[in-house]
Structure 1
Amino acid sequence: MKRIIAVAMITLAAVGLSQPVSAGKYAHHGHFKNLANHQKMEIREGAKVGELTQREVQRLRKQQKRLKKRYQDYMADGRLSRYERRELKASYRNAESRIKRLRNNDEYRFLRVRISGLGKDSPFGRSRVGTWYPQDQRLVLR
């Protein structure tokens, strides 16, 4: 009887310890959702401050929709294979680099103005190029 109980306890312990390991193998779902949320926030912020034009925003949002659709297609069977995970990571990396590139490409949504006529008494000391943000009436110099 003791032998049966010992074997049962060892079996239960082995099964109990193997579950978290196998669950961790395919637990990448939250990671991709976090990436998608972060990228959406970056697009929203870029549009808000004028770093992205309306056309760039539309294209980036369309790309995000395609990534979400691909993720849902891959998850149709309830898990991600190694190939699918690798493909999604590469796609999200590509999208992230595209967002960064477009946010820093010197195309602005708002009117750009040149400040000229600033003499030596000016705190700027010379003509500068700035970006005018009409929604909050401020000028940001570069």
Structure 2
Amino acid sequence: MPKGEGKVLAQNRKASHDYIILDTIEAGMVLTGTEIKSVRKAKINLKDGYASIRNGEVFLQNVHISPFEQGNIFNHDPLRTRKLLLHKKQIKYLIEETKTTGVTLVPLRVYLKNGVAKVLIGLAKGKKSYDKRDALKQKDMKREIDRAMKER
């Protein structure tokens, strides 16, 4: 976790399995009133989410934030596109890095930092199926070694 990170509300566990994370950047999110209330209750799903860059702005797409129970007519669309707040230098860096083929922006986790919802965006490169199998073998071998050392 980055320094000063608060309570983790949602984590994308599938991202580390499907992608090689090259770099991470912390970004703020533009949320409506009922969205932030749902996020604080950890009613957010990052599994199929990704970020895209349009007109010099970064947007978070396909991230599901459940409607707030007491939201009535003020509730939001659960899958709406949300703007991310980044510095211009960070956006230029992301534009340069995503020009490379196979590199994408993936949300890794959402957390509260000083009462503000933040998202950790990962610059990711897709893994091949044989890379995934190799990673699972490495994890199994480490688990076996740890188990053997514990029994000693």
* TM-based fold match above 0.5: no
TM-score after normalising by structure 2: 0.21
Q: Which has the higher helix share?
A: 1
Bigger RCO of structures 1 and 2 (CA < 8 A, at least 6 apart) = 2
Tell me which structure has the larger Cα radius of gyration.
Answer: 1
TM-score after normalising by structure 1: 0.22
